[in-house]
Structures are given as C-alpha cells and as structure tokens.
Amino acid sequence: MPSRSTAPQPRSERTRRWPQISASPRNRCGRGCGKDETQAAPEGSVSAAEELARLLKAEQEWQLEREILRRAAAYFARDCVLSTKGR
C-alpha cells in the first residue's frame, strides 16, 4: 500500500500545501530533480552550453548537406526531363 506522502491527496489539500511542496529540496530546480541548477557539471562531462553549441553546429552542417542534395536532385530531374523531351 502506498505511503500517505505518495498517495494522491484531495485537490483542496494539494492546493493548500503547494507552497510547502514547491519549496522542498526535492523540487528545488522546479522539476523535482533534486539538484541545484547552479551546480557545476561533474568533471569530464559536457556543459549544457557546450552541448547546445555542438548541436547547433551539427544542425548547420545537416542543413547545408540537405540544401546541396535538394539542388542536385533538382538539377538531375531537370536534366532528365530535358533529355526525354528531345527524343
């Protein structure tokens, strides 16, 4: 049987207690993760800013590749249409 703290509470009880619940250390970062958002990343791990920069750079590369493929497909499609019209 679930303990009283994990059992669903009536809406009025949850509404009355929300300031205490949101101020608990478990909800410190607003998502119930239990970590302070200002805490430094462990050694050897990548920070969120570095990860974002890496992902943005990769996205730019993918967009460039996609544009090249789009133009190549349009070129060969046009070339194919022109060569079949001359037959």
Among 2-6, 17-21, 30-34, 63-67, the range scoring the smallest mean pLDDT is 30-34
Q: What is the pTM of this model?
A: 0.43
> Tens of pLDDT along 38-64?
555 566 788 999 999 999 999 999 999
In the chain, % of residues over pLDDT 70: 51
Q: How far is CA 80 from CA 55, 61, 66, 72, in A?
A: 37, 28, 21, 12
